[in-house]
Amino acid sequence: MRFKLNTYFKILSPVVIIFLIFFFTIFSSMITAQDKTPWHGKKCAVCLTYDDALKAQLDNVVPLFDSLGLKGTFYLPGYFTGFKDYMSEWKLVAKKGNELGNHTLFHPCDGKPAGREFVQPDYDLNSYSVQRIVDEIKMDNILLSSIDGKTERTFAYPCGDTMAGDSSYVNEIKGDFAGARGVEGKMQKIDEIDLFDIGSYMINEQPGDSLINLVKQAMSGNDLIVFLFHGVGGGHNINVSVDAHSKFLHFLKQNEKDIWIAPLVDIAEFIKEYQENKD
């Protein structure tokens, strides 16, 4: 009996080995395929963000969003005229599924770097304490919640600055937000993203094809890419033309089967869950 069993396993072992090789090849292929579509089964994630509560965004962005069925994030400084004078319009923007993100009350920035002449002394982060900027951010959250009724949202660092005086305030706001967006242009892998250092590409007069090419690059790398707009068809010295913006958004819509397009709060919550489950 022992001889027969040994003979049997000698005959079977090459078959078993071939089967195992085949199984692991298929399994590896499945894992690779999953890694190439980590964003709800799509190749990349795209977030469209718009800063500073501009009337041009209400006029030129929101109607295009509505016609294409797209959603994005609008970062609103509570004291800016474009927010105060159009609160009912922003409330409607939120009802349509867009995120109203926190951009502080007064948009304070570091006034020291070259080109920051626009920073008023009263709103220079060099004269702020951490407590002051945190209080300002929390008050903007209260204001935004009174508009959209939501308690979960993301934050955008004004001018990309994260220091109040000589201290970082990042850790002090982590409990208040799903994530925070900066201004460093970078594409990011889902398992490598720091939710409080989300990069973005600031758009200033680039043609539509340039924006489309960035998304194609994100698709090839299975990355998150965040776009940072200010003026669209005017309203700010950092601007993109209506035609370029429209061409870009139509491309996104036409390729929705491969691109997940969502407000940043939704993307940040998805990333957090993905990273926690992976760990």
Q: Give the pLDDT of the chain (279 residues) as one tens digit per residue.
A: 444 545 544 555 554 444 444 544 444 444 444 468 899 999 999 999 999 999 999 999 999 999 999 999 999 999 999 999 999 999 999 999 999 999 999 999 999 999 999 999 999 999 999 999 999 999 999 999 999 999 999 999 999 999 999 999 999 999 999 999 999 999 999 999 999 999 999 999 999 999 999 999 999 999 999 999 999 999 999 999 999 999 999 999 999 999 999 999 999 999 999 999 986
Cβ-based neighbours of 99, under 8 Å, separated by 6 or more: 71, 72, 73, 74, 153, 154, 263, 264, 265, 266
Place of tokens 């940040």: 268
Q: To which H or E segment does residue 75 belong? A: strand 73-76
CA dist., res. 185 & res. 187, Å (int): 7
CA dist., res. 84 & res. 2, Å (int): 88
Write down the pTM of the prediction.
0.87
CA dist., res. 94 & res. 181, Å (int): 19
Q: What is the pLDDT of residue 25?
A: 47
CA dist., res. 276 & res. 279, Å (int): 5
Q: What is the pLDDT of residue 36?
A: 82
